[in-house]
């Protein structure tokens, strides 16, 4: 079962890549000293990630446990299932969170979104999951309406 | 018998013989005259019939010539019509109508002239010749009718194909133009609709539509 707090911060595949990169960096630092690790988390890491990892790492004393936890998290993040969604706007973080909430409701909690931007679809979304494509865009609806009108006119 | 009575009897017999000879000569002369007249009559009938037949033959040739001209003119119209199918249909119809009117006027005039000639010739004939001519005319009419029927069929056949071809070309062109027009119209309509929708939708509306799209998948039983 994936940590729910981790799922809150890993919404997109970009988040996932960033998270994995961050875990790799943390893994390289855990055997140095705590101060350098904390300094890194406080300074170079986005706030949502730093809060999450600080919460985990501060409660763990020894380095081996920290490594075990980080490797477990890395494994969980790596195995999040991808769904590709193309939208016609640049979604905010808030929008992405709403979207992923809906996705996880439909397809399971271990989902992560690969979001693409394409204004040609007008609105709605193109969805690709496990190689299956679904066109739920306004472009498709508009084409259907226009083709219907065209068919009647001709 | 009394000698006088014998002389009288001989005289009477001689007189009867003379009268008989005179009658025979007269009858012979009359018969020759009758035969001569009869021959003249037959000759005249033959001449009149030949003359009438010649008139009819001329008329027939003239009518065939007119029909031939009409046919050629029709072919020319069709040929021209085929060349201008890409143009205005109204112009085509106008051209055809004008040519048809012109041909009809020419044909009517020729027909009137032929009819007048025939009537004039016919009225000048004796009754017995007229009867014979009528028989010839009936034969001639049937020949002309057969010719006319053949000509009509040939003319119809020669006109039908090019006209149908021209009509098909015109229909195809019309359909293509309508298709092009509809294509352009819907392409423009599509572009405008897309542009308007893109500009009008806010981020919140986009978000709602995306969420709705994701919800719709559940209704369809998931991906």
- Contact flag A134-B217 (C-beta cutoff 8 Å): yes
Residues A126, A142, single domain; the answer is yes
Per-residue pLDDT reduced to its tens digit, B55-104: 777 877 877 777 677 667 766 766 665 555 555 556 656 766 776 677 67
- Contact flag A142-B215 (C-beta cutoff 8 Å): no
Per-residue pLDDT reduced to its tens digit, A86-109: 999 999 999 999 999 999 998 889
Q: Which of A78, A111, A140 is the last residue of a domain?
A: A78
Q: CA–CA separation, A124 vs B210, rounded Å?
A: 4
Residues A74, A8, single domain; the answer is yes
Contacts of B207 in chain A (CB under 8 A): 89, 91, 95, 98-99
- Contact flag B210-A125 (C-beta cutoff 8 Å): yes
How far CA B6 is from CA of B1, B13, B14, B16, B162, in Å, comes to 7, 11, 12, 15, 106
Residue B15: pLDDT above 80? yes
Contact A129/A107 with Cβ under 8 angstroms? yes
- Contact flag A132-B209 (C-beta cutoff 8 Å): no
Residues A17, A64, single domain; the answer is yes
Contacts of A138 in chain B (CB under 8 A): 197, 209
Sequence-separated (6 or more) residues with CB below 8 Å from residue B182: A150, A153, A154
Q: What pLDDT does residue B65 have?
A: 79
For chain B, the structural domain boundaries read 3-167
Q: Which of A58, A78, A98 is the last residue of a domain?
A: A78
Kindly state whether A129 is in contact with chain B, defined as any CB-CB distance less than 8 angstroms: yes
Q: What pLDDT does residue B90 have?
A: 64
| Residues 169-188, chain B, touching A (beta carbon < 8 A) | 178-179, 182, 186
Per-residue pLDDT reduced to its tens digit, B135-165: 877 887 788 778 778 877 877 777 778 888 8
The conformational region for residue A114 under phi > 0 = left, psi -120 to 50 = alpha, else beta, is beta
Query: What b/e sequence results for B41-70 when a residue is b if at least 16 CB atoms lie within 10 Å of its CB, and e otherwise?
Result: eeeebeebbeebeebbeebbeebeebbeeb
Looking at per-residue pLDDT, the higher value among B95 and A85 belongs to A85
Residues A88, A135, single domain; the answer is yes
- A7's tokens: 């799922």
Report the SS3 class of residue B41: helix
Residue B201: pLDDT above 60? yes
- Interface ipTM above 0.90: no
How far CA A25 is from CA of A8, A39, A47, A73, B119, in Å, comes to 21, 13, 16, 13, 124
Residues A62, A101, single domain; the answer is no
- Contact flag A88-B206 (C-beta cutoff 8 Å): yes
Q: CA–CA separation, B125 vs B113, rounded Å?
A: 19
Helix (H) or strand (E) holding A84: strand A81-87
Residues A20, A69, single domain; the answer is yes
Q: CA–CA separation, A77 vs A74, rounded Å?
A: 5
Kindly state whether B214 is in contact with chain A, defined as any CB-CB distance less than 8 angstroms: yes
Per-residue pLDDT reduced to its tens digit, A10-65: 999 999 999 999 999 889 888 887 777 788 888 878 888 888 888 877 777 788 88
Residues A16, A54, single domain; the answer is yes
- Contact flag A142-B193 (C-beta cutoff 8 Å): yes
Q: What pLDDT does residue A111 have?
A: 93
Residue A115: pLDDT above 90? yes
Residues A16, A29, single domain; the answer is yes
Q: Which residue from B minimizes the CA distance to A135?
A: B213
Looking at per-residue pLDDT, the higher value among B180 and A11 belongs to A11
Report the SS3 class of residue A85: strand
The residue segments making up the domain with residue A97 are 81-153
Q: Which residue from B minimizes the CA distance to A107?
A: B222
CA angle A32, A2, A50 (to 5 degrees): 40
Q: Nearest CA to CA, how far is B211 from chain A (Å)?
A: 6
Give me the number of domains chain A comprises.
2
Q: Which of A23, A48, A78 is the last residue of a domain?
A: A78
- Contact flag B214-A154 (C-beta cutoff 8 Å): no
- A90's tokens: 């640049």
Residues A22, A68, single domain; the answer is yes
């Amino acid at each position: 079962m994936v940590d729910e707090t981790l799922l809150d911060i890993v919404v997109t595949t970009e988040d996932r890549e960033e998270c994995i990169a961050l875990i790799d960096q943390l893994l390289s630092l855990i055997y140095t000293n705590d101060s350098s690790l904390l300094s890194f988390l406080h300074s170079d890491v986005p706030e949502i990630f730093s809060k999450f990892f600080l919460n985990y790492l501060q409660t763990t004393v020894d380095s081996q446990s920290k490594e075990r936890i980080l490797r477990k998290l890395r494994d969980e993040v790596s195995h999040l299932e991808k769904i590709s969604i193309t939208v016609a706007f640049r979604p905010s973080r808030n929008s992405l969170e709403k979207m992923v909430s809906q996705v996880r409701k439909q397809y399971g909690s271990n989902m992560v979104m690969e979001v693409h931007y394409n204004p040609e679809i007008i609105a709605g979304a193109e969805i690709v999951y496990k190689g299956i494509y679904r066109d739920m865009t306004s472009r498709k609806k508009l084409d259907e309406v226009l083709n219907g009108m065209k068919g009647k006119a001709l | 018998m009394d000698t006088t009575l014998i002389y009288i009897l001989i005289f009477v017999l001689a007189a009867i013989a003379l009268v008989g000879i005179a009658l025979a000569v007269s009858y012979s002369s009359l018969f020759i005259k009758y035969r001569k007249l009869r021959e003249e009559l037959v000759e005249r009938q033959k001449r009149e019939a030949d003359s009438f037949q010649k008139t009819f033959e001329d008329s027939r040739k003239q009518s065939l010539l007119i029909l031939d001209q009409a046919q050629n003119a029709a072919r020319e119209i069709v040929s021209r019509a085929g060349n201008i199918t890409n143009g205005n249909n109204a112009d085509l119809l106008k051209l055809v109508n004008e040519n048809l009117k012109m041909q009809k006027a020419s044909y009517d005039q020729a027909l009137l002239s032929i009819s007048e000639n025939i009537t004039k010739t016919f009225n000048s004939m004796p009754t017995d010749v007229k009867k014979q001519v009528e028989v010839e005319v009936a034969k001639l009419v049937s020949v002309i009718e057969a010719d006319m029927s053949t000509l009509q069929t040939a003319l119809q056949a020669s006109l039908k194909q090019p006209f149908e071809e021209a009509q098909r070309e015109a229909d195809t062109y019309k359909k293509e133009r309508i298709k092009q027009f509809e294509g352009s119209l819907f392409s423009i309509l599509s572009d405008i609709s897309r542009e308007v929708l893109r500009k009008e939708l806010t981020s919140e509306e986009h978000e709602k539509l995306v969420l709705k799209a994701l919800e719709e998948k559940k209704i369809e039983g998931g991906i």
